[in-house]
Amino acid sequence: MMYRFMTIVLAVLALIQAPALRAQDGPLRIEITEGVIEPLPFAVPDFIAESSAANELARNLARVVAADLSGTGLFREIPADAFISPVTSFSSPVQFADWKAINAQALVTGAVNVDAGGKVTAKFRLWDVFAGQELGNGLQFSGTQDGWRRIAHKIADQVYSRITGETGYFDTRVAFVAESGPKGQRAKRLAIMDYDGANVKYLTDSSSLVLAPRFSPTGDRVLYTSYESGFPRVYMLDIASVSRRVLESQDGTMSFAPRFAPNGRTVVYSLIRGGNTDIYKMDIGTGQSTRLTSAPSIETAPSVSPDGSQIVFESDRSGSKQIYVMSADGGDARRISKGDGQYGTPVWSPRGDLVAFTKQSKRRFHIGVMRTDGSEERLLTASFLDEGPTWAPNGRVIMFTRETQGEQGQSRLYSVDITGRNLRQVSTPGGASDPSWSPLQ
């Protein structure tokens, strides 16, 4: 991958701005946990092109930064035709009065250069307009021309982080299943793309049914289920080399629903033997597997807690599908789902505080979150069929599959904040399902 070769240079730029009076409202800040918020107005003028080769990038970088911020639902972009004073130089003083007049509370200025070797270097500053001062220090990122979108995402991550106090999630990727063909004979391919739908790359052809890719904690590998042997089996694929190997191939068994443990060396998954589905874990170094559940009921969809100590999973041992938590070594499990309806596909949040799940109730499907003891259940979505949540690395946004009903029914990816706000369809080339959100790159 070109990403591998991208070097990221962080350089603190000189901070020349003179101290200014604080705005009456205090520092520029969004508290994401607040119940209802008014999106924060911001402006991102086109970056300054420091060489003619950077003219196009100067605009494109600004557009991607703006799209990242607007896409969160926490920010609202002020369009360029409202601007009073153009930004003509990265180093000139900012005309705060002109930005205040159009109520731009945050201003991102930037400059970009492309050198003779094709290396892109972009720098930016974030301004708290009403305080009349810079927020944080200017930063500079370098990369290849092909990787310019990553530079924009890194800048947007910095802006998001400085204003919200949370880690960003824009410089991330999503592994998913690209779908095509009629509903009865859907062709499925493993694919990967930037979180915003750019740079789609296919990792498998459609000759074998594939399901549910899951990123490794380092973002360099995915686990998935493939029927290439004729039976569902868990595979691991190295993204850079697109080489794969089967992890679980015991004769007469089927395996699926894999996920990495946070250590990246252990995989938890479901194995079907004699019609019964249980949860196993495997050390991918030695290939040695250990059975963690041994009930005649269905135990599947395991997800390991970020500290590696516990596994949340789905079981129908009570007679209906519910969510349970057990030790990462197996043993007794306690049920945490408490509401009406049926629960599945639990996923531990990267912060460790919540479990996202799929809920089926009264012929509707929901994506929801609950605390890890099952309290404070909150449904975020409702539709004919929503399933398979995956967490943004900062634990603030969830992506999932939504399928429409009927003969023309299709799957698409959607994202939603854990507050239930900002439901959005994620751009994909066609039908798509089973998203897995990468860690921050």
Partner 1 sequence: MTRTVKRGSPMTKTFLNKAFILGAGLTLAACTSPDRFGSDSAVDLNNSAGSVAGSASDPTSPAYFQQAVGDRVLFPVDQHTLTNAAQSTLDAQAEWLLTNSDYDALIEGHADEQGTREYNLALGARRANSVHEYLVSRGVPASRLRVVSYGKERPLEICSTESCYAQNRRAVTIISIGTGV
Judged by the rule CB under 8 A, the positions of this chain that interact with partner 1 are 182-186, 209, 211-212, 230-232, 252, 254, 256-257, 270, 272, 274-277, 298, 300-301, 314, 316, 321, 344-345, 358, 360, 363, 384-385, 387-388, 403, 405-407, 409, 434
Q: What are phi and psi of 434, to 5 degrees?
A: 55, 55
In the complex, minimum distance from the CB of residue 344 to partner 1, in angstroms, rounded to a whole number: 4
**Residue-wise DSSP of 214-246:** EE-TTSSEEEEEE-TTSS-EEEEEETTTTEEEE
In the complex, minimum distance from the CB of residue 23 to partner 1, in angstroms, rounded to a whole number: 48
Which CB atom, from 187 or from 423, has the smaller least distance to partner 1?
187
In the complex, minimum distance from the CB of residue 118 to partner 1, in angstroms, rounded to a whole number: 43
CB 228 within 8 A of CB 206: no
Which CB atom, from 114 or from 336, has the smaller least distance to partner 1?
336
In the complex, minimum distance from the CB of residue 323 to partner 1, in angstroms, rounded to a whole number: 12
Residues 6+ apart with CB under 8 A from 299: 270, 277, 278, 279, 293, 313, 314, 315, 317
Which CB atom, from 17 or from 206, has the smaller least distance to partner 1?
206
In the complex, minimum distance from the CB of residue 232 to partner 1, in angstroms, rounded to a whole number: 7
**Helix H or strand E segment including 181:** none
Which CB atom, from 30 or from 323, has the smaller least distance to partner 1?
323
Residue 197 CA: distances (Å) to CA of 171, 174, 359, 387, 426: 12, 8, 27, 19, 7
In the complex, minimum distance from the CB of residue 253 to partner 1, in angstroms, rounded to a whole number: 10
Which CB atom, from 185 or from 241, has the smaller least distance to partner 1?
185
In the complex, minimum distance from the CB of residue 265 to partner 1, in angstroms, rounded to a whole number: 23
Which CB atom, from 144 or from 208, has the smaller least distance to partner 1?
208
In the complex, minimum distance from the CB of residue 354 to partner 1, in angstroms, rounded to a whole number: 19
**Helix H or strand E segment including 176:** strand 173-180
Q: Strand pairing of 397-403 and 354-361? A: unpaired
In the complex, minimum distance from the CB of residue 92 to partner 1, in angstroms, rounded to a whole number: 55
Q: What are phi and psi of 96, to 5 degrees?
A: -55, -35
Q: Which of 388, 398, 441, 439 is nearest to 262 (CA)?
A: 439
> What count of residues does the chain have?
441
CB 101 within 8 A of CB 118: no
Which CB atom, from 117 or from 275, has the smaller least distance to partner 1?
275
**Token pair for 311:** 């596994």
In the complex, minimum distance from the CB of residue 406 to partner 1, in angstroms, rounded to a whole number: 5
Q: Strand, coil or helix: what is 13?
A: coil
CB 343 within 8 A of CB 322: yes
Q: How far apart are CA 324 and CA 88, in angstroms?
A: 58
Which CB atom, from 48 or from 261, has the smaller least distance to partner 1?
261
Which CB atom, from 107 or from 367, has the smaller least distance to partner 1?
367
Q: Strand, coil or helix: what is 67?
A: helix
Which CB atom, from 26 or from 182, has the smaller least distance to partner 1?
182
Q: What is the DSSP letter of 406?
A: S
Q: Which of 42, 57, 62, 69 is nearest to 169 (CA)?
A: 69
Q: How far apart are CA 123 and CA 134, in angstroms?
A: 14
